[in-house]
């Protein structure tokens, strides 16, 4: 999946766990965990919501990286 994320890093900076972030973003703890593991790519709405929680831009958390094998 070409979407790299730094959600865990941002979460550590803010000092909150997955459950707390889940509550703030109004999603389940499992969904936060799936995003962190790269198993699930959040919608634009959820990505913006998460970015707002951390008070950073979406690109500070989610980065789209082209797979080198696609080139």
Site residues (vs other proteins, CB under 8 A): 17-19, 26-31, 33-35, 40, 42-43, 46
List own/partner pairs for 24-32 with CB under 8 A and 24 or more apart: 24/53, 25/49, 25/50, 25/53, 32/7
Minimum CB separation of residue 8 from other proteins in Å reads 9
Minimum CB separation of residue 57 from other proteins in Å reads 21
Minimum CB separation of residue 71 from other proteins in Å reads 29
Q: Pick the closer one to other proteins by CB: 29 or 51.
A: 29
Contacts of 14 (CB under 8 A, 6+ apart): 53, 54
């Amino acid at each position: 999946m070409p979407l790299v994320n730094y959600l865990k890093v941002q979460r550590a900076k803010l000092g909150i766990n997955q459950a707390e972030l889940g509550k703030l973003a109004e999603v389940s703890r499992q969904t936060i965990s799936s995003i962190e593991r790269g198993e699930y790519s959040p919608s634009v709405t959820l990505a913006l919501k998460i970015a707002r929680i951390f008070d950073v831009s979406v690109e500070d958390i989610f980065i789209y990286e082209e797979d080198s094998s696609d080139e």
